[in-house]
Amino acid sequence: MHIPFNKPYFTGNETQYIRDAVSSLKISGDGLFTKKCHDFFEKKYGFKKVLLTTSCTDALEMAAILLNIKEGDEVIAPSFTFVSTVNAFVLRGAKIIFCDSGTDNPNIDVDAIESLITQNTKVIIPVHYAGIACDMDKIMGLANKYNLFVVEDAAQAIDSFYKDRPLGSFGHMAAFSFHETKNIISGEGGMLVINDERFINRAEIIREKGTNRSSFFRGEVDKYGWVDIGSSFLPSDMIAAFLFAQIENLENIQNKRKDIWLNYYNGLKELEDKKYIKLPFIPEYATNNAHMFYLQCNNLQERTRLIDHLKKSQINAVFHYLSLHKSPYYSSKHDQRDLPNSDRYSDCLLRLPMFYELTKEQVKFVCDEITNFYLHH
Ligand SMILES: Cc1ncc(COP(=O)(O)O)c(C=O)c1O
């Protein structure tokens, strides 16, 4: 049986809602379904303002524009992350100061951040890896102490919490992804959450090509025009229609994914107890939104052999980010510091198949194959 790494899950209402959007003859941005999605997220998570975007990357680019990032500004972010986390800020001229990951999990090492702060530091970007919260009390404490902005990269963190408060509600802003690999999806898609009211007006303008079109449609101004820089960051209402069908099933999707996650955990616990592998560590302050199931091998060669072993059984397990401080684009700009934990996750972390329709038997098969690899090789 072939087990892909990911398989998008359709809840059933997606095409109907897209048809509804089409019938309404309003399929460009900010139609009925976009509004429904905004209302849902604002109510459910208490976010001050939500704006759907065409991707998490776009939401991050909006954040960089909103914070007036310019040449010479420094942005502190983990090296073990997706390029968009920092590329959005590099586009505005920022210098990225890469921080190492912690030893317990791939999230930014909060105790290493303070020593990286300089006169030029403007933003800290915590990435909630695998939907597991960074230590937001410590990060917001540093932001307050040094007067910095915080943009949460919550691409993987929908419906996950830190000390009972939803991720995405801590930073001045947060960016989420609805790419087809995420828990709830719209193909490509994302949203910018704005928790600091000062940014709301301008965010609407930046998202609408630098115009005050949103105010115009609300009847607040009698004509609209070019008032700032911006781009086209808003998705078509057909994308929002798709997303709304997913949102309506959020609880069901989350419960199913958490079941799968636990089955993996229980199925592999013995290997961890025998010290063959390491399983994910979830701090007490964090919840698990079951975005991802990963394990850690002891080294790169072992991981490569395990991937090959699983491939022979038609199981598609994949590694994840390569440290950005060593990337072809940024290595010459990085300040030479070693970031050993980031490199270790780059070499040793392996993500297992994780999607709604993964059956208990399939999870058992994957766990058995991994057990075979360690106990019989
Ligand atoms: C941590 C992180 N940030 C940002 C992104 C970019 O998301 P998108 O594909 O919606 O632009 C991803 C994508 O997977 C991600 O993992």
Lowest mean pLDDT among 105-109, 198-202, 212-216: 212-216
Secondary structure (3-state) at 109? coil
Residue given tokens 């993987």 in the structure block: 156
pLDDT for 1 equals 80
Its pTM surpasses 0.95: yes
Each residue's pLDDT tens digit, 267-304: 999 999 999 999 999 999 999 999 999 999 999 999 99
Check: CB of residue 267 under 8 Å from CB of residue 363: yes
Rounded CA separation 20/45 (Å): 26
Secondary structure (3-state) at 212? coil
Residue 376: is its pLDDT beyond 90? no
Q: Is the CB of 165 under 6 A from ligand 1?
A: no
Each residue's pLDDT tens digit, 318-363: 999 999 999 999 999 999 999 999 999 999 999 999 999 999 999 9
What is the rounded average pLDDT of the residues 80-93? 98
What is the rounded average pLDDT of the residues 83-98? 98
* Helices first, then strands: H and E counts in the chain: 13, 11
pLDDT for 169 equals 98
Residue 51: is its pLDDT beyond 90? yes
Residue 377: is its pLDDT beyond 90? no
pLDDT for 360 equals 98
What is the rounded average pLDDT of the residues 57-76? 98
> 15 CA distance to ligand 1 centroid (A)?
25
Each residue's pLDDT tens digit, 153-193: 999 999 999 999 999 999 999 999 999 999 999 999 999 99
Residue 308: is its pLDDT beyond 90? yes
Confidence category of residue 97, pLDDT binned at 50, 70, 90: very high
Report which ligand 1 atom has the smallest distance to the Cα of 55: 10
Q: What percentage of the chain exceeds 70 in pLDDT?
A: 100
> 56 CA distance to ligand 1 centroid (A)?
6
Rounded CA separation 174/155 (Å): 9
If one residue of 56, 58, 132, 173 were mutated to test the ligand 1 pocket, choosing by the most ligand atoms within 8 A of its CB, it would be 56
Tokens representing 301?
A: 């060669």
Average pLDDT, the chain: 97
Q: Is the CB of 55 under 6 A from ligand 1?
A: yes
Q: Which residues of 217-242 are buried (b: 16+ CB within 10 A; e: fewer)?
A: eeeeeeebeeeeebeebbbbbbbbbb
Report which ligand 1 atom has the smallest distance to the Cα of 190: 10
Q: Is the CB of 177 under 6 A from ligand 1?
A: yes
Secondary structure (3-state) at 202? helix
Closest of 149, 7, 25 to residue 77, by C-alpha: 149
What is the rounded average pLDDT of the residues 241-247? 98
pLDDT for 224 equals 92
> 60 CA distance to ligand 1 centroid (A)?
9
Each residue's pLDDT tens digit, 213-230: 999 999 999 999 999 999
Check: CB of residue 189 under 8 Å from CB of residue 173: no
Report which ligand 1 atom has the smallest distance to the Cα of 60: 4
pLDDT for 150 equals 99
Check: CB of residue 186 under 8 Å from CB of residue 208: no
